[in-house]
């Protein structure tokens, strides 16, 4: 990739993740009535990492983590050139009366979150839903949706893409700004 600019390096990501985890603990204590839901496809890496930190560094066990795919709930079906390919949804629990935390890597227009809010209803009626995102692209929302936990805020124009890389999948932890 020729035109890419490093926004956050791995050291800073490490600090941000621990801060986000601490904010989660502050609000959810032992997570006994809380479930984490990573949004497919890129939110699940962040969700896995958060769960790992909660377990390994803060000894919080029995965290329920699911993956939610929102493809069938999107509002741009048949408006794209190519049909949308679905990913796996893996939620082995009901969210009825649970406190749900959606986890996604980048919050942009808010349309994915709108779809996720509908999709999660297939698994019950949660007592509340919060949103955690690593990168919040400010001033680009199409819908009145705001995150509860934010890693960092980025101002980018529409022709740019924010790319989050993970050690496990991409070989490094980093956030890049890429020309589309």
For residues 36 and 50, the answer to whether their CB atoms sit within 8 Å is: yes
Q: How far is the CB of 57 from another protein (least distance, A)?
A: 32
Task: State the minimum distance, in angstroms, from the CB of residue 76 to another protein.
Answer: 11
Query: Cβ of residue 29: shortest distance to another protein, in angstroms?
Result: 27
Q: Of 126 and 147, which CB lies nearer to another protein in the complex structure?
A: 126
Torsion sign over Cα 52, 58, 63, 65: negative
Q: Within 13 Å of residue 81, how many CA atoms lie on the same side as its CB?
A: 0
Whichever of 40 and 133 has its CB closer to another protein, that residue is 40
- The DSSP string of 81-116 is SSPPPP---B--S--TTPEEEEEEEEESSSHHHHHH
* Other beta carbons within 10 Å of 23: 14
Whichever of 90 and 127 has its CB closer to another protein, that residue is 90
Considering the complex, what minimum distance in angstroms separates the CB of residue 41 from another protein?
A: 13
Q: Applying CB under 8 A, which residues contact another protein?
A: 69, 71-74, 77-78, 82-90, 94, 118-119, 121-124
Measured from the CB atom, is 112 or 133 closer to another protein?
A: 112
């Amino acid at each position: 990739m020729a035109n890419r600019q490093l926004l956050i390096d791995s050291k800073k990501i490490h600090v941000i993740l621990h801060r986000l985890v601490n904010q989660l603990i502050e609000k959810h204590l032992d997570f006994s009535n809380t479930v984490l839901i990573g949004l497919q496809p890129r939110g699940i890496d962040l969700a896995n990492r958060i769960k790992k930190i909660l377990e390994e560094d803060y000894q919080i066990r029995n965290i329920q983590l699911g993956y939610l795919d929102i493809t069938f709930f999107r509002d741009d079906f048949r408006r794209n050139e190519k049909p949308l390919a679905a990913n796996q949804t893996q939620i082995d629990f009901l969210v009825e009366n649970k406190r749900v935390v959606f986890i996604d890597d980048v919050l942009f227009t808010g349309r994915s979150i709108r779809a996720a809010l509908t999709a999660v209803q297939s698994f019950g009626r949660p007592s509340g839903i919060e949103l955690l995102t690593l990168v919040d692209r400010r001033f680009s929302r199409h819908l009145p949706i705001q995150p509860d936990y934010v890693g960092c805020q980025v101002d980018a124009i529409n022709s740019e893409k924010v790319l989050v890389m993970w050690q496990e999948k991409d070989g490094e932890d980093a956030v890049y700004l890429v020309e589309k």
